[in-house]
Amino acid sequence: MRKKITIIGAGNVGATTAQLTAKDGLADVVLFDIAEGVPQGKALDIAEACPLWGSAVSVTGSNSYDDTAGSDIVVITAGFPRKPHMSRDDLLHANANVVQSASEAIAKTSPDAIIIVVTNPMDAMAQLSWKTTEFSCRRVMGMGGILDASRFRSFLAWEMSVSPVDIETMVLGGHGDQMVPLPRFTTVKGIQVTEILKKKRVDALIHRTRNGGAEIVGLLKSGSAYYAPAAATYQMMRSVLLDEKRLLPCAAYLNGEYGVKDLYVGVPVILGKEGVEKVVELKLTKEEKVMFRESCAAVRKLVKKLGI
């Protein structure tokens, strides 16, 4: 039997994630939204593209959680995107209500699911979803680091005129302004980027990466990024569904790793059929540790505001 994926929120990120999933024939897709007709209409449109993609999966839309029952993976994208001059953190309370109600419903209808949280501020929303569902922390994770890393890879590739595919990098910390891109773990086909580019240039690209989401919000004027966020979410789903065991930066629950306790934050993890199968601990320099701790502190502040 084919696997079943539910995407909560049929907006820009949700619908694009559904499209990528259906195109690759990865799993049957249920798009869920509170807006009547929207998930049905977008699902129908995607389903009608499947013959052209050579994909035989089913894509349906619904306003009822009953139709999402028994999902293998549930992606939460429901909520509000930011507007210009808003940070991801400004969405905290509005999106907490949405994520909490979605998580309550998922716990009832898909008790064995793996949850990928995309709604911002993502790290705090992942913690909220985990607390609400009471699922094992291995089965609840957040999408952020892959997107930030992909932005950094793009900027580096343009700077060096090389293929972004050949660039590997790692980004730690919260999916916010204080994320920690790591040049020490950034290579072009194994060659350290710090050997190719001057520190000043690398620092400028790190700055652009930290502001990557805001840059797009500023251009769009209404709404936030969704093509790259959906592609990053798709990579996580694929690693879980196909048990690929990719090493990817995701928001995962830390219980002592990196000296951090009881907090969701971005770290490298192995993603497989069990969800977060391992948190990979990197040996950080003093300077990296300080930046990581500051980023964790910013996430913890939000979690405290939620009282969870």
Judged by CB under 6 A, the residue of 40, 58, 101, 178 near ligand APR is 101
Residues 6+ apart with CB under 8 A from 220: none
Half-sphere exposure of 100 (CA within 13 A, CB side): 11
d(CA 289, CA 259): 10
Q: Is 226 in the site for ligand APR (CB under 6 A)?
A: yes
> Are the CB atoms for 143 and 236 separated by under 8 Å?
yes
Judged by CB under 6 A, the residue of 5, 7, 10, 124 near ligand APR is 10
Judged by CB under 6 A, the residue of 4, 6, 9, 272 near ligand APR is 9
275 has which bridge partners?
272
In the block, which residue shows the tokens 């009881």? 262
Q: Is 268 in the site for ligand APR (CB under 6 A)?
A: no
What DSSP letter does each residue of 132-162 carry, written as one string?
A: HH---GGGEEE--HHHHHHHHHHHHHHHHTS
Q: Is 144 in the site for ligand APR (CB under 6 A)?
A: no
State which residue, 8 or 182, has the beta carbon closest to ligand APR.
8
> Are the CB atoms for 180 and 145 separated by under 8 Å?
no
State which residue, 79 or 181, has the beta carbon closest to ligand APR.
79
Clarify whether 207 is annotated catalytic: no
Q: Is 272 in the site for ligand APR (CB under 6 A)?
A: no
Stretch binding ligand APR (CB under 6 A), from 9-17, 150-158, 171-179, 254-262? 9-17
Binding site for ligand APR (CB under 6 A): 8-14, 33-35, 38, 77-79, 81-82, 91, 95, 98, 101-102, 118-120, 223-224, 226, 229
State the catalytic residues.
175
